[in-house]
Each structure stands twice: as structure tokens, then as C-alpha cells.
């Protein structure tokens, strides 16, 4: 059986295009999707090797359209990730389901939490400070196996896993 994770990470530069099957699978995994909307599917997504990542979710709007921000710590790959998924993508297929995904960044180097918060600011989006702190804690403690949904007031609801 091919090891898509290994093959994609060790591919020559430029090989990891945003349209690749690997990219789409990881983006869905990072955003908590298994081909369905997250709203009703709160099961964590297993990553290669049986380890999982933390996922911190925040629903908001971008230009009057609903989006889901997913940020977390990818324990198997040891980096912070960020996706901003449109919850109402255009039906004509002319735009990506994702407003932003770290997988489309020019660099193949993992970036910091501060970098991704700057990307959100560039898009005119904010996350609750409690979400930012939780992602930082997950990175510091190498936490996975967790999915938490945040509200605008900073309160949260644990969908899966434990929080301290």
C-alpha cells in the first residue's frame, strides 16, 4: 500500500499542488471533514499512523458569507495548521471551498501560530483569544485527540477529547 503522506512530504518542490488528492484529503482532515459538513459530524478524523490532531473550530462570516475557521496542532506532522472553509461555496464551481488553507501557502515549511493569526487578520477575520491560547497550549503540550467549538464570546464546547 502506498504511503501518500511520506511520498507527498518527500516529493520535489512544486509537486504538492493544491489540487492533489493528498492536499484535498489533508485539508478535509484538518478541517474535520470526511466529505460531509462538520455541523453534524463531530467525529475526530484519524490521521496516518493512528495519531490525531487537535481541532479548534469557530464559525463566523466573511463578506456576509458563513465560514468555518479550523486551527489546531497536527501532532503527527508537528505543526500548527489553519483552514477557512466557505460553508456556502458557489455552485458553479468557480471558487474553492476553502477561502484559505495552509496547504496552499508558497512555503513548505510549517509556520507559527502568529503567522496564521496574521493570515486571519489579512482576511479580515478574528478568532476568540481563548481559541488562540488553546492552540498554543496544544502545541506546547503536543496535544491531539481533541475537537473544540468556540463561540464569539470566547466560550467553548468540547466535541471530542479533554481540555484542562
Cα distance between residue 87 and residue 142, in whole Å: 29
Model confidence at 7: pLDDT above 60: no
The model carries a pTM of 0.69
Q: How far is CA 144 from CA 51, 60, 97, in A?
A: 8, 24, 25
d(CA 34, CA 17): 20
pLDDT given at position 25: 44
The answer to whether the CB of 22 falls within 8 A of the CB of 8 is: yes
pLDDT digits (tens, 9 = 90+) for 62-119: 999 999 999 999 999 899 999 999 999 777 777 889 999 998 888 766 689 999 999 9
Q: What does pLDDT average to over the chain?
A: 76
Max Cα distance, the chain (Å): 46
pLDDT band at 146 (very low <50, low <70, confident <90, very high): very high
Amino acid at each position: 500500500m502506498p504511503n501518500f503522506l511520506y511520498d507527498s512530504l518527500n516529493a520535489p518542490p512544486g509537486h504538492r499542488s493544491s489540487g492533489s488528492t493528498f492536499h484535498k484529503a489533508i485539508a478535509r482532515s484538518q478541517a474535520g471533514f470526511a466529505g460531509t459538513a462538520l455541523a453534524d459530524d463531530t467525529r475526530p478524523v484519524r490521521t496516518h499512523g493512528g495519531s490525531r490532531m487537535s481541532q479548534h473550530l469557530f464559525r463566523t462570516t466573511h463578506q456576509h458569507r458563513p465560514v468555518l475557521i479550523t486551527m489546531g496542532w497536527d501532532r503527527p506532522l508537528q505543526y500548527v495548521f489553519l483552514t477557512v472553509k466557505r460553508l456556502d461555496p458557489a455552485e458553479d464551481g468557480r471558487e474553492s471551498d476553502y477561502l484559505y488553507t495552509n496547504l496552499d501557502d508558497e512555503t513548505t515549511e510549517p509556520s507559527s501560530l502568529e503567522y496564521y493569526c496574521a493570515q486571519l487578520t489579512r482576511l479580515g477575520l478574528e478568532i476568540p483569544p481563548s481559541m488562540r491560547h488553546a492552540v498554543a497550549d496544544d502545541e506546547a503540550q503536543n496535544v491531539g485527540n481533541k475537537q473544540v467549538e468556540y463561540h464569539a464570546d470566547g466560550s467553548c464546547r468540547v466535541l471530542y477529547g479533554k481540555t484542562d
